[in-house]
Amino acid sequence: MEKNNFISRGCRCAPRPNTTRQEELHAHSCTKLNVFNWLDNIKPPKSYPSLDIVEVRFKNSRKDFFKVPEDLTLEEGDIVAVEASPGHDIGIVTIAGEIVNLQLKKKKTDYRTTEFKKVYRKAKVSDIEKWVAAVELEEQTMHGSRETASDLNLQMKISDVEYQGDKTKAIFYYTADERVDFRELIKVLAEKFNVRIEMRQIGMRQEASRLGGIGSCGRELCCATWLTNFRSVSTNAARTQQLSLNPQKLAGQCSKLKCCINYENDCYLDALKDYPDTEVLLETKKGKAFHQKTDILRNIMWYSYQDNPSNFVNLTLERVKEIQDLNRKKIVPDELRPDDSSETAITQEQGKGYEEDSLTRFDKQKSGDKKKKRRNKSRKKR
C-alpha cells in the first residue's frame, strides 16, 4: 500500500498535478482541528457584503486566514498559492464564506482592522508538482536533522519538519527543556538540505497537538481535534475529583497532566459546597471514626473506626451531617449506621441471589430443553 504523505494536511491521497481542485482530496476525517461549514446551504442577503477572507490549512494543526482578491472565487478544497516570507506557500482552503467570520470571532480577530496576507492565485500545475516533491522530502529531512542534532550534542527533540510549498524554506519544530544554541545546527542543515532553515520551538502540548494520537479513553486527542486553548492543569483538580494521584494515569501523551481533568472540575467544586468538613471526626459509642474517601456524585462518604481502619462503613451525606449535628449538641449516637447490620444482610442476600441467577439460569434452561427434546423423540418413535 502506497504511503500517503498528505494525510497530515487533511488529504485522503496525494493531489494530482493536473487539477487545482478535486472533491475527493480534502477529507474532514483526516484533518486536525477540523471545521464543518454548517452555513454552507444558507445564502446571505444580497445587500449583505460577502467576506473576502478564507481559512487555509497547511501541515498538521497549522492554519491561517488570507485575503482573497476581488477577481478570484474560492471554495472549500481549492489548492491555492498564498503569501509567505519569503516566496509563497501552498495550502488547501478549508472554509470560505460567512463561517470564516465566526472563526475570526473565536480567535478574537476583527477582519476590519487586521491586515491579512494575500492569496496569490489558485495553484498551477507547476506549483502542485513542486509542492508534492517538497512534501516527500519531509520525513527523510526530519530523520537527518535528528542525527545532526545528536552529533552536535544538542539537548533538543525535533518532532516535525514542514517544507514551504515553493521548496525554498523548511520549518523545524522542536521541544527543549532549556535554551538551546542551534546556530551551528542551522549552518549544517542549510548546507545539507540546501533550503532556508527556520527553527520554531513549541511546548509539549503543542507537540502532541501537531502529531496527534489516541488517548487512554480510546478517542483522538482533544488537542488534535478541537482543543486550542491550553489551560493550566494542577493536581488540585485531581484531588478535588478524588482521583488517584498516579502520574502514569493522570499524564497524557505530552507527559503533562491531561487537559480533560479540568472538564468536570467545576461540577465537582459545586457539589463539594454541600459536603461537611472531612477533618471532623464522627464520635459514637463504638469509638471515633475518621473519613476515608468520598463518592461525590453518589453522595456517599466512607468512614472507619480508629481501632479498625481497614473496615470501611459507607454513609449517606445526610447521615454524616446528622451525626456532626448531634456531636455539636454533645449527643453521641450508638454507631455510625443504626441499621448497619440489617442493610448489610439484605445487600449480601441480594448480591448472592443475583450472582447465582446470572451464572446458572441459562444452564438450567438448556438442560430442560434437552429433556423436552428427548421426550419428543421418544414419542415420535412410538
pTM: 0.74
Tell me if 221 sits within 8 A of 213, measured CB to CB.
yes
CA distance 221 to 269: 25
Residue 202: which of 134, 139, 254 has the closest Cα? 254
Q: Which domain holds residue 37?
A: 7-125
Domain identity same for 14 and 87? yes
C-alpha distances (whole Å) from 55 to each of 80, 87, 235, 365 are 11, 19, 37, 64
Please, where are the H alpha helices in 107-256?
125-136, 138-151, 183-193, 204-211, 222-225, 235-240, 247-250
Domain identity same for 116 and 142? no
Residue 164, domain member (yes or no): yes
Residue 18, domain member (yes or no): yes
Domain identity same for 201 and 293? no
Domain identity same for 33 and 108? yes
CATH code assigned at 160: 3.30.300.20
Residue 177, domain member (yes or no): yes
Domain identity same for 305 and 364? no
Domain identity same for 334 and 354? no
- Torsion region of 242: left, alpha or beta (phi above 0 gives left; psi -120 to 50 gives alpha): left
List beta partners, residue 171.
162, 198
- The DSSP bridge pattern shows strands 53-57 and 88-96 to be antiparallel
Residue 163, domain member (yes or no): yes
Write out the DSSP string of 79-114.
EEEEE-SSSEEEEEEEEESTHHHHHHHHTT--TTT-
Domain boundary among 169, 188, 206: 206
Residue 272, domain member (yes or no): no
Domain identity same for 26 and 77? yes
What's the pLDDT at 230?
Answer: 86
CA distance 58 to 163: 10
What's the pLDDT at 61?
Answer: 86
CA distance 188 to 148: 8
Write out the DSSP string of 319-361.
HHHHHHHHHHTT---SSS-TTHHHHHHHHHHHHHHHHHHHHHH
Q: For residue 356, what is its C-alpha cell?
A: 447465582
Residue 170 has phi, psi (to 5 degrees) of: -130, 135
Domain identity same for 291 and 331? yes
Write out the DSSP string of 257-320.
B-GGGGTTHHHHHHHHTTSPPTTSPEEETTEEEEEEEEETTTTEEEEEETTEEEEEEEEEHHHH
Domain identity same for 50 and 149? no
Tell me if 58 sits within 8 A of 64, measured CB to CB.
yes
Tell me if 315 sits within 8 A of 296, measured CB to CB.
no
Cell 446470572 locates to: 358
Residue 245, domain member (yes or no): no
CA distance 76 to 37: 9
What b/e readout covers 38-68, taking b as 16+ CB neighbours within 10 angstroms? eeeeeeeeeeeeebbbbbbbbbbbbbbbbbb
Domain identity same for 287 and 320? yes
- The DSSP bridge pattern shows strands 169-175 and 196-201 to be parallel
CA distance 29 to 11: 9
Domain identity same for 333 and 354? no
Residue 204: which of 234, 237, 176 has the closest Cα? 176
Residue 53: which of 97, 113, 105, 114 has the closest Cα? 97
Domain identity same for 362 and 317? no
> Which stretches of the chain score pLDDT less than 70?
1-2, 17-24, 28-30, 338-382
Total number of domains constituting the chain = 4
